[in-house]
Amino acid sequence: MDNVALSNLRFDEPRKHPGTVLPGAPESAAEPFDSNRFKVAESDLAKLDSYVNDAKGLREWLDKIKQWLPERKNAPPLPPIPQGYLEYLTARAFRTPTPHVLIKQLSLEGVKIPIDEIGMSNIQCRNLSDAPSGAGLMVTFEVKSTQHPFSISCIGHFEQNAGDVEIKAEFADYDLQKLQAN
Domain coordinates of the chain in residue numbers? 3-8+101-181
CA–CA separation, 55 and 118 (whole Å)? 61
pLDDT in tens, the chain (182 residues): 888 888 887 777 888 888 887 777 666 566 777 777 777 788 888 888 888 888 888 899 888 888 888 887 777 777 778 888 888 877 776 666 788 889 999 999 999 888 888 889 999 999 999 888 888 889 999 999 999 999 999 999 888 776 688 999 888 877 778 767 76
How far from 172 is each of 8, 15, 116, CA to CA, in Å? 25, 34, 14
CA–CA separation, 164 and 160 (whole Å)? 8
pTM score, whole prediction: 0.54
CA–CA separation, 128 and 141 (whole Å)? 9
CB atoms within 10 A of CB 158: 21
Residues 158 and 133 sit within 8 Å (Cβ to Cβ): yes
